[in-house]
C-alpha cells in the first residue's frame, strides 16, 4: 500500500499503519499550501511531481492500494488547489491498475497545526491579545473538522481497502455542517476569553473565485460506519487547551 499523506502531524496521531510499504516524505517542505507567496514551481513539485513519482513507483512495485489526500477547494482558488486537482486527475488515469483512493478534506484543524492555516493563525492572534485582526466580511461558509475525526476517517478507509475493487474511489471528509467564517471567529474569541482584540471584518477583500458555501458529501464514509465525534466547540476547546499549554511551556 502506498500513501500520499498530507502531514506528519496527522501521521503521528494515526500511529503505525500495518502493511504500509511506503509513506511519502519530501525533501524540503512536507506539504505546501500555497500561502505566503509560495513559489508555484515548489507547489507543483510538492503537490504534483513527487506524488506522481510515488504513484508510478506504486504501480511498478505492484502495490494494491494508493491513498491520496486531496482538498475540497475548487482548483480555481489558488496554485495549491490547482496542483492538488491536477494530481487527482493523474490518479484517476492510473486507476485501471490499482485501488486508487482520493480523499478530499474539508478544513481540518487541531493543536500544533501549521501556523499559516486559518484556525491556528486566528487562535494564536487571540491568545496573544492582538490589538486587531483584519478579516474578510466572513460570510463564506466552511466545514471545520477536528483532526482526530479526520484520522478516524482514514482508519475506516484503511480497514476497508480490501472491499474496494480496482479503480478510482473518491471520498470527502468533513462534518457535513458548515459555519460562516465570521461565526467561527466570534466563537473562537469567546472560547479564548479574549475581550481585547478587535475582529476587523471587511478589512480584506474576498479571494478571486472565492467559494461562499463549501459542502462535502460524507455518505460513502457513513456507509462504512464512520461518524465524526467532535462538535466544532469541542474540537476548538481541545485545541485551545493544548495551544495554551504550549505557549506557557515556551516562556
Residues belonging to the active site: 80
Q: How far is CA 3 from the centre of its chain?
A: 15
Q: Which residue has the cell 462535502?
A: 216
Residue 215 contacts residue 74 (beta carbons within 8 Å): no
Q: Which residue has the cell 503537490?
A: 47
Neighbour-count burial of 160, counting CB atoms closer than 10 A to its CB (0-12 exposed, 13-18 middle, 19+ buried): middle
Q: How far is CA 2 from the centre of its chain?
A: 19
Tell me which DSSP letter residue 61 carries.
T
Residue 198 has φ and ψ, to the nearest 5°, of: -90, 120
* Cell numbers found for residue 223: 456507509
Give CA angle at 5 (19, 165), nearest 5°. Answer: 55
Give CA–CA dist 215/141, Å, rounded. 8
Amino acid at each position: 500500500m502506498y500513501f500520499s499523506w498530507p502531514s506528519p502531524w496527522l501521521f503521528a496521531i494515526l500511529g503505525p499503519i500495518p502493511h504500509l510499504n511506503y509513506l511519502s516524505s519530501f525533501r524540503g517542505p512536507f506539504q505546501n499550501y500555497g500561502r505566503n507567496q509560495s513559489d508555484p514551481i515548489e507547489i507543483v513539485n510538492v503537490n504534483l511531481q513527487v506524488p506522481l513519482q510515488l504513484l508510478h513507483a506504486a504501480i511498478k512495485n505492484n502495490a494494491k492500494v494508493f491513498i491520496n489526500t486531496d482538498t475540497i477547494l475548487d482548483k480555481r482558488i489558488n496554485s495549491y488547489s490547482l496542483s492538488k486537482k491536477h494530481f487527482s486527475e493523474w490518479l484517476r488515469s492510473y486507476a485501471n491498475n490499482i485501488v486508487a483512493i482520493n480523499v478530499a478534506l474539508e478544513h481540518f484543524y487541531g493543536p500544533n497545526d501549521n501556523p499559516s492555516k486559518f484556525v491556528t493563525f486566528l487562535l494564536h492572534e487571540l491568545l496573544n491579545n492582538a490589538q486587531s485582526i483584519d478579516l474578510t466580511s466572513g460570510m463564506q461558509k466552511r466545514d471545520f473538522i477536528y483532526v482526530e475525526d479526520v484520522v478516524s476517517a482514514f482508519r475506516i478507509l484503511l480497514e476497508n481497502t480490501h472491499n474496494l475493487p480496482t479503480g478510482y474511489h473518491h471520498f470527502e471528509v468533513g462534518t457535513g455542517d458548515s459555519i460562516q467564517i465570521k461565526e467561527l471567529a466570534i466563537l473562537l474569541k469567546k472560547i479564548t476569553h479574549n475581550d481585547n482584540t478587535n475582529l476587523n471584518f471587511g478589512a480584506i477583500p474576498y479571494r478571486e473565485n472565492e467559494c461562499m458555501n463549501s459542502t462535502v458529501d460524507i455518505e460513502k464514509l457513513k456507509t462504512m460506519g464512520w461518524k465524526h465525534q467532535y462538535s466544532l466547540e469541542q474540537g476548538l476547546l481541545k485545541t485551545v487547551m493544548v495551544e495554551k499549554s504550549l505557549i506557557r511551556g515556551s516562556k
